[in-house]
Structure 1
Amino acid sequence: MITPTQPERDVRLADFPTLVAALDYAAQGATGVNLHGLRGELAEVLPYQTLRQQALDYAQRLLAAGLAPGDRVGLVAETDGDFVRAFFACQYAGLLPAPLPLPTPLGGRAAYVEQIRRMLDAARAAALVGPAGLAEWVAEIAEGQGLTFAGTLADLPAEASAELPAIGPDDPCYLQFSSGSTRFPTGVLVTHRALMANAVAITRDGLQVKPADRAISWLPLYHDMGLVGFLLSPLCAQMSVDLMPTGAFVRRPLLWLDLIGRNGATVSYSPTFGYELCARRAQNAAIDHLDLSGWRIAGLGGDMIRLPPLREFEQAFAAVGFSPKAYVASYGMAEATLALSMAPLGEGLVAETLDVDRLEQDAQAIAATAGSRARDFARCGRPLPHHELQVRNEYGEVLGERQVGRIFARGPSLMKGYFEQPQASADILGADGWLDTGDLGYFSEGQIVITGRIKDLIILNGRNIWPQDLEWTAEAEIPGLRSGDVAAFSVPVEGEESVIVLVQSRSSDAEVRERLVQDVTDLLRLRHGVEAKVTLVGGHALPQTSSGKLSRSRARAGYLAAQTDKAVA
């Protein structure tokens, strides 16, 4: 019978020069990665000692296949042992792995093949490694691409003896494609030095990892929060981690909570929608078998934090030991490896209830008063040690407390730049090391509060309107709408901005659809003073990023393309 690895060990919190040095050290203990299947069953145990041995073997086999140190290798990121082995084999071989997304359930084969080809081209990849279940897809993707190798790990030369290169802190570690929330995914080049700086900040300063800690995740390994947060950082702290496929969570979200209790996990993260999905399922499912009393860090990251669903989660699972003090709000991005700030442990969510009118008109974070339009924002903590955050106005001037502006970041975890895209790098990364994050926010008692993305902001008659305000209002107050059913953005119409709201409808009844359009239109007019053009789309029609966030830019592009097609017709 396969049993999970055990957590007891002497902890060394990521103070290593490289990722390979971290694995060399972790291999001396008894901890490792535990991989679970679609029904939560334990499919494979991969102790760090075994992972190191297998990674060294596959490193030589990759080089024997004709690859050379420095080559880029696309890795289709299935949550299985082969992805983990391949990723670390690349580390020992001096190759640069680029984790790639899996096909989406509603996506089509042709679209996926084209997507991966474009990502391989952006990475100038020499090889593509995929899971056995996608072997035919991998072959199709590789056709005519001039790759040195394409296949599964089992397709590599059976025996090989190659000299492995020495790996230094300033060598490239991996290529992280951004989520694509505002553009086609761009390769973020992360060095070993940047990764280890972030791993130290996360494990030592943010999570304050303890010897008995254990992590669990359903987040995809091609996303920075899944890869860095729940594969690389746990390894760098010799922490055992349980990984379950994202598809398993989507089908059975309560499996996540079941594994937390069953395996004694203490650290796990999710975007808000993950907690929301669990709370919704708990309404019609038995939960008394769950035990969340040991969950000390229920992290939040990857999207805007929405407080109402989190309050529903804490109420739904209080009876099985969940404490709202476990919530830890975080802020970060792939361009900073992962984390830039984390809220203090043990305090739970600290909310700021702001006057929306003052926020929209004056860019001031003023506390709401009775009768004013209000919205809650979560404090996301102070910058992690050796990292800095600034809030600046449109002229580049640093703003004071509670003044909303553009967020800039600097620190040892930042990327060197986008891979082979010097202009895109120069557009956001200054010579002084400051990164323009593209996010908006303000400081409150030294903690950063995120209010939105600058590219998503709707500017209407001098007002700054956050699209999520419109989306969340409709989803919360219109019966039948769920989280993720609404996308708001603006488009130019005769020289002025017009607000467009796309709403997913699962009904084909004409009266129901007409009523939905009218209800959303009236609600946004009443609550926000916005005259919006509401358009219905099919269920699951709104595009998402690799991390499960709504992609407003792609929704907007799709809408504009549809309008162009109509005009041509």
Structure 2
Amino acid sequence: MTDTQNRAAAGEALVPTATEDALPRRFSDFATLGEALDYAATGTRGLNFHDARGTLTRPYPFREMREEALACARRLIAAGIRPQDRVALIAETGSEFAALFFGVVYAGAWPVPLPLPTSFGGSASYIEQLRVQLASCDPQMLLFPAELSQMAGEAARIADVEGLDFTSFAARPAPDAALPRAGSEDIAYLQYSSGSTRFPHGVAITHRALLNNLQAHAFGMKLIESDRCVSWLPWYHDMGLVGCFLSVVANQVSTDYLKTEDFARRPLAWLDLISRNQGTSLSYSPTFGYDICARRMSSQTKASDRFDLARWRVAGNGADMIRPDVMQSFVDAFADAGFQATAFLPSYGLAEATLAVSIMPPGEGIRVELVEETQLSGSGMTEDRPQRYRAIVNCGRPVKDMAVEIREEDGTPLPERAIGKLWCRGPSVMEGYFRDPDATAACMTDGWLDTGDMGYLSDGYVYIVGRAKDMIIVNGRNHWPQDIEWAVEQLPGFKQGDIAAFAITTPGGEETPAVLVQCRTSDTSERKRLHDEIRERVRSVTGMNCVIELIPPRTLPRTSSGKLSRAKARNLYLAGEIKPYELAA
């Protein structure tokens, strides 16, 4: 048993790892990820795991994590794992996954974090998702939490991969073995994106690329000695894995964790953890996390009665389109608890760049530009349409060593404030997609990565407009699905995530937007009224007649990171798997 486990068994109170440390902080200036943990383990900082109510259940100093990771590495080598083999790991937030991830790294193999099941699709869908990803990464083993043995074990059986739960693996002997020495140009891990799993792309990231991006986090957020991280983000998504797990190891930051599913049930426990931090807090979330917390605060309750958010220094925001109205609602809900709007730190990134591409300088907060929609769509004004503007959030400056260009479809660079495809180049850009040279060639040219996102540059800052593949083109005019979705969200009773807009082909062969709206009322006449109200609202904003479909709550699919998947919603709708309500005549 570890020291922590012995103390817990003796009934002693658990003590979180230190926020500040006498160990001189190094900002990811290591050759490999293993070297980063070796150094962090000589200090007193570490990871801290909490239950759904925010009670500390396992302090996990980096020293203990390193010891357990080395034991995992020896078990893996004894099982025949060799350098460059892949080991798939179901990424449950906890000490078992943390030790296994670094154990695979110490063994010279490549860890491949895979998602936990979501609330959508059921066991068959999850087994199929794992099967496809296992076929893509071709691992020697799949390791998983014991409670997922039935589903993960079945996926391993179908994929003809050895499957073993964390507990059974930990019971295996760990005989002494010489550990291979990784080089900075070796692959550190494979990261799967959170999007479609039909044709998954494993992003291959080298140690050098990873450490370069982790150093950019430290510089971009201007880390200070009193900083402590708090996170509920899943470890199978790049923002959770890289930003709130690997980064805190390589930059020696103590971190407090809630499991993602616990945050979903009790979101305000996240803010409780931040309130208890006596240092300065770093914590990231997509927009929807801030939205959930703002909605949970009742108008009769003062946030200051429960929370103290005055020391929240960096309230990071990324992973989806940043909504300034939502962020303002969060400020309104928690200002009296000491939260400062200047703590917001928008950023932009993607797994193909390891993580961060741009970060807002700390203290500048949310900065917005109003852009006329014809500039966003690339089409001219029509006489019968009034000017309309969308608020575009500043996502900061390119991180250390990263270059960003905005280009035309043909690759021609565009000037400032011209909207086009965002390309980036730097040491942290991926080697390529694992065993997929065609997909790699489709998005990489001369070291430049086509991110697939549309945006523009203004005074050296990056502004993101949307995903190019989500664009709806009707009669030669471009429409952003977010504009349609946001229009519906302004109606009473709807919120972010209730609406998905995408293009379909009508029986007459015409392209038209379809809008799926999750509806909570069971009254048929009320549904008809809402349908007509939504149709008129969308027509007034876009000038188009759209197909409006009301669907049951919790129907729209999401990616593993919680983002709305418009592409999957479209496929399910066209396949008849999303069944709209019948409307009264």
Partner of 1:467: 481
Shift of 1:220: 0.4
Partner of 2:19: 7
Which amino acid letter does the alignment assign opposite residue 288 of structure 2? F
Matched, 1:200 2:212: no
Matched, 1:489 2:506: no
Partner of 2:406: 391
Aligned partner of residue 307 in structure 2, secondary structure:
coil
Matched, 1:301 2:301: no
Q: Where in structure 2 are the equivalents of 1:351-370 lying within 5 Å? A: 351-362=368-379
Shift of 1:65: 1.9
Aligned partner of residue 296 in structure 1, secondary structure:
strand
Matched, 1:328 2:345: yes
Give the Cα–Cα distance (whole angstroms) in 2 for the partners of residues 501 and 184 of structure 1. 26
Q: Which moved more, 1:102-111 or 1:182-191?
A: 182-191
Matched, 1:230 2:240: no
Shift of 1:74: 1.0
What fraction of aligned residue pairs are identical, expressed as a percent?
47
In structure 1, which of residues 90, 101, 121 is the aligned counterpart of residue 104 of structure 2? 90
In structure 1, which of residues 338, 341, 349 is the aligned counterpart of residue 355 of structure 2? 338
Partner of 2:42: 28
Which runs of 5 or more residues in structure 1 are unaligned?
365-370
Which amino acid letter does the alignment assign opposite residue 497 of structure 2? G
Deviations 1:527-568 (A, max 9, x none): 2212110011211110101111110110111112129999xx
Give the Cα–Cα distance (whole angstroms) in 1 for the partners of residues 37 and 198 of structure 2. 34
Q: TM-score, normalised by structure 2?
A: 0.92
Matched, 1:315 2:314: no
Give the Cα–Cα distance (whole angstroms) in 2 for the partners of residues 523 and 139 of structure 1. 48
Deviations 1:385-412 (A, max 9, x none): 2111110112211111111001111100
Partner of 1:248: 262
Matched, 1:456 2:456: no
Give the Cα–Cα distance (whole angstroms) in 2 for the partners of residues 343 and 152 of structure 1. 39
Shift of 1:507: 2.2
Matched, 1:427 2:442: yes
Matched, 1:547 2:564: no
Aligned partner of residue 576 in structure 2, secondary structure:
helix
Matched, 1:220 2:234: yes
Give the Cα–Cα distance (whole angstroms) in 2 for the partners of residues 249 and 109 of structure 1. 22
Checking the alignment, whether the CA contact within 8 Å between 1:335 and 1:415 is kept in structure 2 is: yes
In structure 1, which of residues 135, 139, 158 is the aligned counterpart of residue 173 of structure 2? 158
Which runs of 5 or more residues in structure 2 are unaligned?
1-12, 581-585
Aligned partner of residue 499 in structure 1, secondary structure:
strand
Which amino acid letter does the alignment assign opposite residue 143 of structure 1? R
Checking the alignment, whether the CA contact within 8 Å between 2:72 and 2:174 is kept in structure 1 is: no
Which amino acid letter does the alignment assign opposite residue 216 of structure 1? V
Which amino acid letter does the alignment assign opposite residue 318 of structure 2? G
Partner of 2:10: none
Q: Where in structure 2 are the equivalents of 1:266-305 lying within 5 Å? A: 266-283=281-298, 287=303, 288-305=305-322
Shift of 1:149: 4.8
Deviations 1:400-438 (A, max 9, x none): 1111001111100110111111111111011x1011110
Aligned partner of residue 484 in structure 1, secondary structure:
coil
Deviations 1:306-349 (A, max 9, x none): 11011010011000000000011101100000000011110111
Q: Structure 1 residues 16, 505: closer, same or farther in 2, change over 3 A?
A: same
Deviations 1:57-98 (A, max 9, x none): 111011112322211111111111101111011110111111
Checking the alignment, whether the CA contact within 8 Å between 1:86 and 1:153 is kept in structure 2 is: no
Q: Structure 1 residues 76, 558: closer, same or farther in 2, change over 3 A?
A: same
Q: Structure 1 residues 425, 510: closer, same or farther in 2, change over 3 A?
A: same
Query: What is the RMSD of the two structures over their aligned residues, measured on CA atoms?
Result: 1.9
Deviations 1:253-273 (A, max 9, x none): 111111001123510111111
In structure 1, which of residues 494, 499, 507 is the aligned counterpart of residue 521 of structure 2? 507
Shift of 1:105: 2.5
Aligned partner of residue 43 in structure 2, secondary structure:
coil
Aligned partner of residue 539 in structure 1, secondary structure:
coil
Shift of 1:495: 4.0
Checking the alignment, whether the CA contact within 8 Å between 1:70 and 1:95 is kept in structure 2 is: yes
Q: Which moved more, 1:227-236 or 1:34-43?
A: 34-43
Which amino acid letter does the alignment assign opposite residue 190 of structure 1? I
Checking the alignment, whether the CA contact within 8 Å between 1:60 and 1:161 is kept in structure 2 is: yes
Checking the alignment, whether the CA contact within 8 Å between 1:14 and 1:237 is kept in structure 2 is: yes
Give the Cα–Cα distance (whole angstroms) in 1 for the partners of residues 348 and 578 of structure 2. 38
